[in-house]
Amino acid sequence: MTARPSLFQRLMANDALNFALTNRIPRATLTRLFGRFSKVEHPWVRDLSIGLWRRFGEVDLSDARKTQFRSLHDAFIRELRDGARPLDPRPDVLVSPCDAIVGALGRIEGDTLLQAKGMRYTLEELLGDREQAALLRDGHYMTLRITAAMYHRFHAPADCSIEGVHYFPGDTWNVNPPALARVERLYCRNERAVLSARMDDGTPLVMVPVAAILVASLRLHCVDLTLHAGYAGPHRLDCSAHAQRGEELGWFEHGSTILLLLPRQAAVKPAVFTGQRLRMGEALFTPAAL
């Protein structure tokens, strides 16, 4: 027998109300306050906040490495127990870097990507780099939304070398479907980081983690930094870090989105469809010949 949705879930299913409750508020201030609150380690605060999160967010902590958490923040950025996310065994398959719901995907139309029905944005607006945008023209893209209830760490989709990071301070619009359908160029407005990488076969690979409301920071291991609204710079960071497929790259401190971009010459095809729920390590792109 299917459980009836709670009143909270029914209210949040109303797109207009959902948008008003999660966006028509002082987003930046709320995000800073939530970041501080989530780190409070007092047992009463910790237990109540984690309990409410699990009650309304349908959170599953059964695959976490540890069973006790110091704070809500500690639970958000939890590590998983060994074997909880097996990688697709085919070595030439790009795997999902995170647990996610698949959003827009397909071929980039020139330099234009689909955000939601009737909403589009350009590579140059997203990446802030005309030359990099030109390299990805007519390429492939996929949007992966990480909900607040999901595992918040993200990993390398393929064996690759990360060559640079470009950090963009920005807004903190929600990245759920009601906001994507109402806010033009949302991904280009929000706080984000562009990770420029190259797969071991020489193919460029770009990952863009996009922050959202209540996301207090973005941790990137390749530059050993936690990026957040108070970070003073520099915003262009050189790095030379090799990652194996499935290796952890960092984490969000709340749900958000990762955009994955590949150039036209990448001979791949999507292995997923819009609306599909994924776990890290499952097939994302397969060779076009398969």
DSSP SS3 for 288: coil
Q: What are phi and psi of 231, to 5 degrees?
A: -70, 125
Active site residue 138: no
* Length in residues, the chain: 290
**What is the rounded CA–CA span in Å between residue 207 and residue 141?**
10
Q: How far is CA 54 from the centre of its chain?
A: 20
Six-digit token pair at 9?
């879930």
Place of tokens 């006790």: 68
**Helices 43-57 and 27-38, axial angle in degrees (round to 10):** 120
Q: How far is CA 129 from the centre of its chain?
A: 21
Active site residue 82: no
Q: Using an 8 Å Cβ cutoff, are 23 and 173 in contact?
A: yes
In degrees to the nearest 10, what's the CA dihedral of 208, 212, 217, 220?
A: -20
Active site residue 256: yes
Q: Given CA atoms 275, 19, 32, 60 in this order, what sign does their dihedral have?
A: negative
Q: Which of 88, 99, 111, 171 is catalytic?
A: 99
Q: Which of 155, 166, 228, 254 is catalytic?
A: 155
Residues whose CB is less than 8 angstroms from the CB of residue 182 and which lie 6 or more positions away in sequence, other chains included: 19
Catalytically active residues, by annotation = 99, 155, 256
